């Protein structure tokens, strides 16, 4: 899969991008739009539109610094929105974890019923960690973890 296809598939939602930008601005008010663009792997125009939208919604305030440098500051509305977004993503992740655990647990039961007693995982990921935790309540024994990635974490 080429990088353009990967970027499209794993493009962050607008809400996730909002959270990431708000967090970055909170930590570094003088961050440039180009730095934000590079950090989050998005086009400079998308970054500019995001900043303008946040300013229009009064989540951030812009203050000019010479030469041609702007600082961004979170407003009380911005802090409140950041908190809402964080709560949303924590809730989503907890629900996602619970759903993944149910799916994996059902599959492990099916495997046990089919007489499978040993398993190896291919690739290291968050999903594999959930599978490993779920496997602890099973009769199936983990015999190995295979990971082709040189860094050993299965992620690119």
Question: How far apart (Å, rounded) are the C-alpha atoms in residues 127 and 132?
Answer: 9
Domain spans, the chain: 3-74, 95-146
For residues 120-152, one letter each, b for 16 or more C-beta atoms within 10 angstroms of the residue's C-beta and e for the rest, the string is ebeebeeebebbeebbeebeeeeeeeebeeeee
Q: Is the distance from CB of 135 to CB of 107 less than 8 angstroms?
A: no
Q: Which two tokens stand for residue 60?
A: 């951030």
Question: How far apart (Å, rounded) are the C-alpha atoms in residues 43 and 37?
Answer: 6
Distance, C-alpha 139 to centroid of its chain = 32
Q: What is the pLDDT of residues 77-92, one digit of tens each?
A: 999 999 999 999 999 8
Pick the more confident residue, 94 or 156: 94
With H, G, I as helix, E, B as strand and everything else as coil, classify residue 89. Answer: helix
Q: What is the pTM of this model?
A: 0.67
User: Mean pLDDT over all residues of the chain?
Assistant: 87
Q: Is the pLDDT of residue 7 over 80?
A: no
- Which band of pLDDT confidence, cut at 50, 70 and 90, is reported for residue 3? very low
Question: How far apart (Å, rounded) are the C-alpha atoms in residues 18 and 143?
Answer: 42
Q: Is the pLDDT of residue 17 over 70?
A: yes
Least confident among 15-19, 66-70, 107-111: 66-70
Question: How far apart (Å, rounded) are the C-alpha atoms in residues 77 and 65?
Answer: 23
Q: Name the percent of the chain lying above pLDDT 70.
A: 87
Using DSSP bridges, classify how beta strands 69-74 and 60-65 pair: parallel, antiparallel or unpaired: antiparallel
Q: Which two tokens stand for residue 138?
A: 């099973």
Per-residue pLDDT, 150: 66
Q: Which CATH class is domain 3-74?
A: mainly alpha
Per-residue pLDDT, 2: 42
Q: What is the pLDDT of residues 138-152, one digit of tens each?
A: 999 999 999 887 665
Q: Is the distance from CB of 147 to CB of 154 less than 8 angstroms?
A: yes
Can you list the positions of beta strands (E) in the chain?
A: 60-65, 69-74, 118-122, 141-146
Per-residue pLDDT, 6: 42
Q: Kindly state the average pLDDT of the residues 3-30.
A: 76
Per-residue pLDDT, 153: 54
């Amino acid at each position: 899969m080429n990088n353009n296809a990967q970027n499209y598939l794993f493009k962050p939602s607008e809400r996730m991008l909002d959270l990431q930008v708000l967090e970055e601005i909170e930590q570094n008010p003088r961050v440039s739009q180009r730095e934000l663009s590079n950090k989050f792997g998005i086009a400079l125009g998308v970054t500019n539109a995001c900043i303008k939208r946040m300013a229009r919604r009064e989540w951030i305030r812009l203050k000019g610094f010479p030469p041609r440098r702007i600082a961004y500051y979170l407003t009380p509305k911005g802090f409140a929105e950041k908190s809402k977004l964080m709560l949303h993503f924590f809730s989503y992740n907890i629900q996602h974890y619970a759903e993944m655990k149910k799916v994996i647990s059902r599959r492990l039961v099916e495997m046990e019923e089919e007489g499978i007693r040993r398993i190896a995982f291919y690739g290291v990921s968050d999903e594999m960690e959930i599978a490993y935790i779920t496997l602890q309540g099973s009769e199936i024994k983990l015999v190995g973890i295979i990971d082709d990635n040189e860094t050993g974490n299965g992620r690119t």
